[in-house]
Amino acid sequence: MESLILVPSSRHVSITNSSAFSSDFKVQFTSRKRAMNFRASSPQILPCNVVLERLTPRSYIRYGPPYGDQDDDPEEQVESLRVPDAWSVPSKALEESEWLRVTLHKWLDEEYCPEETNVEISKVAAKSYYNSLLEKRTELADILLNMARELESISYKESFHGAFSSANAAVNLIAQRIELS
């Protein structure tokens, strides 16, 4: 014999008997066949022969992700999110920041539309990147957060993007450049 658990589509309801449902209002549940009304103070647990443990996010911890390679080493992925130390030399940092300014400006113009804000975004992002390299901040996460913070100084009122999306685009370009080098 199969049982059915009905959950309202319009709100999250805890599947427990709770004193929080002591008020006298009705909640509508819908099955494939018909709509049913229950008083909110009615028991919220219906028998079910399904093992819910398999449906919880914790199952991903036990059984692994439903996609991807099982052999991926998470530590290798984290290490690959660093700018090479050689780019922290002032002359190379200047070269890389200029590359970012030109590339980000071109990308913003192509991805959205050419506008004056793109020039300012690419200048601020390049300066932030240069400063991060000189300060030996080589983790892309640190570069991203610092760049997003500095890009907040720009007005985006007449723009299609914001500080964080611009910083994210810049860091994606940097990551692509790291892969190619």
- The whole-number pLDDT of residue 81 equals 84
* Over residues 86-105, mean pLDDT: 97
Q: What is the pLDDT of residues 103-129, one digit of tens each?
A: 999 999 999 889 999 999 999 999 999
Q: Which residues contact 48 (CB under 8 A, 6 or more apart)?
A: 3, 4, 5
DSSP 161: -
In this predicted model, what pLDDT tens digit does every residue of 137-167 receive, in sequence order? 999 999 999 999 999 999 988 888 899 999 9
Structure token digits, residue 114:
């050419």
Position with higher pLDDT, 109 vs 2: 109
End-to-end CA distance of the chain: 62
Output the pTM of the full model.
Answer: 0.57
Q: Which residues pair with 85 in a beta bridge?
A: none
Q: What is the per-residue pLDDT for 126?
A: 98
